[in-house]
Amino acid sequence: MTGVRWRSDTGWEGRCNECCDWWPLDHEFWYPRQGLARCRACQNLAQRRSERRIRAEEQDVIRAADRRRYRREWESERRKRERLARVA
């Protein structure tokens, strides 16, 4: 929060560092446990982006493992076919 101001209709308001909007100082718009630098909406957006990035990284690891397993099985089958072809 970069500033605080008083308005007669809404009371005390704080300005979010991220979106630069003024929001009333209550738990509906601010989440003190996460800090008061960003409003609740910006905090939720940052959390969603982080979760999406983590999920994408996990998917990359899973795809790589699946690809290694596929290649390992394919190579094993190819070697087996070549052995059988040499014997016959």
pTM of the entire predicted model: 0.65
Tokens of 86: 């040499």
Residue 2: its pLDDT value, please? 83
CA terminus-to-terminus distance, the chain: 78
Give the whole-angstrom CA distance, residue 32 versus residue 38: 10
Q: What burial class does residue 29 get, using C-beta atoms within 10 Å of its C-beta: 0-12 exposed, 13-18 middle, 19+ buried?
A: middle
Residues 43-79: tens digit of each pLDDT? 999 999 999 999 999 999 999 999 999 999 999 999 9
Main-chain phi, psi angles of 13, to 5 degrees: -130, 150
